Amino acid sequence: MAEQLHVQLVAVEEKVWTGAASSVVARTTEGELGVLPGHAPLLGQLAEPGEVRIKLPEGGQVDYQVTGGFLSVTGSGVTILAEEANPVSADPAR
């Protein structure tokens, strides 16, 4: 089994999405950032408006439009803390 990331996407008032992912791509104030399993720890500020793309282990993808917030990468996974997060596509098999 390939390595996976544990990802949490949290908005101010709710947990929006949580689960396993093969990668995460987010737009930060420093540019677009891709995170794979084993990525070095970091903290980045999300760009406004921004998009977070979560690639699922089975091949699908979920996309969210985010406003404000931060992305944190640690040894235990990726946490995205956004002021707002809205799904871009409702098709996780994309």
Tokens matching residue 19:
């689960």
Return the number of other C-beta atoms located less than 10 Å from residue 39's C-beta: 17
Instruction: Please give the domain boundaries of the chain with CATH numbers for all domains.
Output: 5-87 (2.60.15.10)
Whole-angstrom Cα distance, residue 42 to residue 78?
Answer: 10
Could you read off the pLDDT of 18-73 as tens digits, one per residue? 999 999 999 999 999 999 999 999 999 999 989 999 999 999 999 999 999 999 99
Per the structure block, which two tokens stand in for 65? 């439009």
63 beta partners: 53
pTM for the full model?
A: 0.89
Give the model's pLDDT for residue 13: 84
The reported pLDDT for the residue numbered 67 is 94
